[in-house]
């Protein structure tokens, strides 16, 4: 089947719909309808501020949806992707107690139970089966909340979407939970080609058993919908017949699935109304609203999202993915839409889309996109500043608009490149993330001043860098003057910041001599090259420098004299840093092993179980190994005089298919050039059942 002509835009709308629903419903997740009506009233718009919460937060619905899809990339973009392979992705990208899931304990949290099964060698789909975990654990909501990505890679192919969603769902769930997931995935896939909600529901029913509880539930909700013009009457019937009191467990799929079906029946073509119904109804509001929002976005497109209030502006495309691949964590809906659409194109036998604007990280190519940019309210900020998307030539650009900009004022806009300071206040889910831009890299941006601007302005690149007490401070690049009708390309090789992470990047507009009115158009923003950075404890007091490492160990010290001291109780542990944009580079560190069967450095890290390791082994060897899931392959090794409590100078470089290492006076080289070779990824410190320390880790060009 050919892809829809507007496939990318529809995926973007689906991603935005998911985000809007999740962030709308998250502040009152788990509330009953009665409590919502008492405390908040009907949910017509975001209520996070009324409850003292942030809007864009870490959430399992978002992180799981866009992390588990990576199994397609890791194990083959094929319709036959197996539950077992998706389970392997769980072990690679999930960090117990720290990322994506509700780690509520074995037998309490379905996903935690399944992860423990996977960890002890029970592969999917047995890991999520009723036979292993019992019916109650297996039929909670989690299979359904993560399925949107599987639908978006299968536009107009409901059977394929259902197959992939069923494989993914069976990693952790079984029974009615998997039926609900497959049905909703099929509905979303069909929403690319149909806006008839009854047809979408019939399509979903065609991929599940006709006599299952989910099918019977839908028949009841459809009947109640025809008998009652007021959705509140149907909601009460759902509570009476399928309410939480009728099903065991913490968050059963059946009551929540009923509310989702009800919402799309009563408001099939009104995004705001569907969100009002599904959120005001209560129970697992972020999950339900996220799935409904994605379906509505896919069916109605971007125009449907914009038919009511401004849902997109407060989110500004932002999303967070807490996972073991920290360079993917600070993300945006545009980048995710391109990633998902390219997976879908490959599944359909089509070539991936060419990277917009020669692969610029920020390109603003999709309608209305801002990719995380928002006005920066620094002390000198002009109060009129607004950020949006505008036409530029034959494409689109970020627009930073200002009015009556006076000398001494600034018009600035920035986007996140690392976790915000307020991340420590986010409830439930810790954010595992590393920065996306680094000292030593060269930042470039093309800026255009429209000819109808009034007055020349000075424009600069700007950073927000962590400092004392983890407060962000502004660091500006060199200025360029931009007259009306002119354009420029700014360039800045970023300096070192004493090991502190860069939290945001953006632009500052100022005027020196006269008032200015107009707009700055940002065509693209990119950075290139390997970092030139020494990672260590900064002189200033704070902890975000350490939080910039993905913590996959039992203990990551704040108090030992060396900058980094890690300890692992059972098996292998790793802390990692960097992004998949790192390809060829060198890393240097003096490593001390205090206890353990091996320890050392890792390069081209792509999660917990996909990397190259350079290991000092207790039995007297230096090794270069390739870790791929549970399989470890020794690529090269040599005798080495191992000793505890001895600092060993280590240098490793990766260039093309060659890994070169020197530890002390022992040198090793290995090559890996197969299809399964790792061509990019960050760095790591690895220890097996012991402790390791180092005071600094330097990264540079290879």
* CATH architecture for the domain at 549-700: Sandwich (2.60)
Write down the CATH number for the domain with range 374-528.
Answer: 2.60.120.260
Whole-angstrom Cα distance, residue 506 to residue 460?
8
Whole-angstrom Cα distance, residue 522 to residue 373?
11
Question: What value does the mean pLDDT take over residues 44-50?
Answer: 97
Report the percent of the chain where pLDDT is more than 70. Answer: 100
pLDDT at position 427 is 77
Provide the whole-model pTM. 0.97
Whole-angstrom Cα distance, residue 301 to residue 309?
15
User: What CA dihedral angle connects 114, 120, 123 and 125, to 10 degrees?
Assistant: -20
Q: Is the pLDDT of residue 5 over 90?
A: yes
Cβ(579)–Cβ(530) under 8 Å? no
Residue 661 bridge partners (DSSP):
652, 668
**Which tens digits make up the pLDDT trace of 419-470?**
999 998 887 788 999 999 999 999 999 999 999 999 999 999 999 999 999 9
Q: Where in the chain is the domain with CATH 2.60.120.260?
A: 374-528
> How many CB atoms lie under 10 A from the CB of residue 587?
26
**Which tens digits make up the pLDDT trace of 153-201?**
999 999 999 999 999 999 999 999 999 999 999 999 999 999 999 999 9
CA distances from 428 to 58, 118, 557, 653 (A): 8, 23, 22, 38
- Which of residues 586 and 424 earns the better pLDDT score? 586
pLDDT at position 187 is 98
Cβ(501)–Cβ(420) under 8 Å? no
Cβ(38)–Cβ(75) under 8 Å? no
Whole-angstrom Cα distance, residue 465 to residue 439?
11
**Which tens digits make up the pLDDT trace of 84-140?**
999 999 999 999 999 989 999 999 999 999 999 999 999 999 999 999 999 999 999
State whether CATH 3.10.20.30 applies to domain 10-320: no
Counting Cα atoms < 13 Å in the Cβ hemisphere of 189 gives 29
Token digits of residue 499: 């090991």
Cβ(36)–Cβ(282) under 8 Å? yes
Peptide bond into 125 cis (omega under 30): yes
**Which tens digits make up the pLDDT trace of 631-645?**
999 999 999 999 999
Q: Where in the chain is the domain with CATH 1.10.4080.10?
A: 10-320
Q: How confident is the model at residue 594 (pLDDT cuts 50, 70, 90)?
A: very high
Q: How far is CA 359 from the centre of its chain?
A: 19
**Which tens digits make up the pLDDT trace of 363-395?**
999 999 999 999 999 999 999 999 999 999 999
Helix (H) or strand (E) holding 226: helix 213-227
pLDDT at position 333 is 98
pLDDT at position 430 is 87
């Amino acid at each position: 089947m050919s892809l829809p002509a507007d496939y990318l835009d529809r995926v973007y709308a689906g991603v935005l719909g998911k985000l809007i629903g999740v962030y709308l419903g998250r502040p009152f997740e788990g509330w009953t309808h009665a409590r919502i009506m008492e405390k908040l009233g009907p949910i017509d718009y975001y209520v996070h501020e009324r409850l003292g919460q942030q809007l864009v937060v870490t959430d399992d619905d978002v992180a799981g949806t866009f992390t588990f899809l990576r199994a397609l990339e890791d194990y083959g973009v094929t319709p036959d992707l197996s539950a077992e392979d998706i389970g392997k992705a769980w072990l690679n990208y999930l960090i117990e107690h720290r990322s994506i899931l509700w780690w509520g304990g074995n037998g309490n949290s379905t996903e935690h139970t399944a992860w423990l099964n996977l960890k002890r060698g029970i592969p999917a789909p047995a890991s999520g089966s009723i036979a292993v975990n019992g019916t109650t654990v297996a039929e909670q909501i989690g299979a359904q909340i993560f399925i949107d990505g599987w639908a978006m890679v299968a536009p107009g192919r409901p059977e394929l979407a259902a197959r992939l969603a069923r494989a993914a769902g069976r990693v952790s769930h079984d029974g009615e939970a998997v039926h609900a997931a497959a049905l909703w995935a099929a509905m979303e896939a069909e929403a690319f080609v149909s806006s008839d909600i009854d047809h979408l529901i019939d399509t979903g029913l065609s991929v599940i058993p006709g006599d299952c509880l989910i099918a019977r539930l839908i028949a009841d909700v459809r009947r109640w919908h025809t008998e009652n013009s007021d959705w509140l009457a149907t909601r009460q019937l759902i509570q009476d017949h399928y309410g939480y009191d009728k099903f065991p467990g913490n968050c059963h799929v059946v009551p929540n699935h009923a509310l989702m079906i009800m919402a799309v029946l009563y408001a099939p073509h009104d995004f705001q109304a569907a969100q009002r119904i599904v959120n005001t109804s209560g129970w697992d509001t972020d999950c339900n609203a996220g799935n409904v929002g994605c379906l509505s976005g896919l069916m109605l497109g971007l125009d449907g999202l914009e038919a009511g209030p401004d849902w997109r502006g407060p989110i500004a495309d932002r999303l967070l993915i807490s996972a073991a691949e920290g360079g993917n964590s600070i993300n945006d809906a545009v980048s995710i839409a391109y990633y998902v659409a390219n997976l879908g194109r490959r599944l359909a036998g089509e070539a991936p889309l060419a990277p917009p604007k020669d692969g610029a990280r920020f390109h603003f190519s999709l309608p209305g996109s801002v990719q995380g940019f928002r006005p920066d309210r620094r002390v000198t900020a002009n109060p009129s500043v607004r950020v949006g998307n505008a036409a530029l030539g034959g494409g689109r650009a970020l627009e930073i608009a200002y009015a009556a900009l006076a000398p001494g004022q600034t018009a600035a806009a920035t986007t996140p490149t690392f976790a915000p300071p307020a991340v420590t206040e986010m409830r439930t889910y810790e954010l595992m993330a590393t920065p996306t831009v680094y000292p030593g890299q060269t930042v470039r941006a093309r800026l255009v001043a429209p000819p109808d601007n009034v007055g020349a302005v000075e424009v600069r690149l700007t950073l927000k860098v962590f400092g004392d007490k983890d407060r962000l401070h502004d660091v500006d690049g060199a200025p360029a003057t931009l007259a009306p009708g002119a354009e420029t390309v700014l360039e800045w090789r970023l300096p070192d910041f004493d090991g502190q992470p860069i939290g945001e990047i953006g632009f500052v507009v100022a005027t020196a001599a006269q008032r200015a009115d107009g707009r700055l158009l940002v065509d693209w923003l990119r950075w290139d090259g390997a970092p030139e950075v020494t990672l260590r404890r900064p002189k200033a007091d704070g902890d975000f420098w350490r939080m910039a490492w993905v913590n996959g160990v039992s203990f990551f010290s704040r108090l030992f004299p060396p900058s980094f001291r890690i300890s692992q109780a059972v098996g292998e542990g790793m802390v990692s840093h960097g992004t998949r944009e790192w390809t060829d580079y060198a890393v240097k560190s003096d490593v001390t092993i205090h206890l353990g069967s091996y320890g050392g450095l890792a390069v081209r890290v792509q999660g917990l179980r996909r990397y190259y390791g350079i290991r000092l082994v207790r039995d007297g060897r230096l090794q270069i190994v390739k870790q791929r899931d549970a399989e470890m392959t020794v690529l090269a090794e040599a005798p080495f005089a191992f000793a505890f409590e001895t600092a060993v100078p280590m240098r490793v470089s990766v260039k093309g298919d060659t890994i070169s290492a020197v530890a002390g006076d022992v040198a090793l080289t290995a090559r890996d050039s197969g299809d399964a070779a790792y061509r990019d990824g960050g760095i790591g410190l690895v220890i097996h059942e012991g402790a390791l320390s180092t005071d600094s880790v330097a990264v540079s060009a290879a």
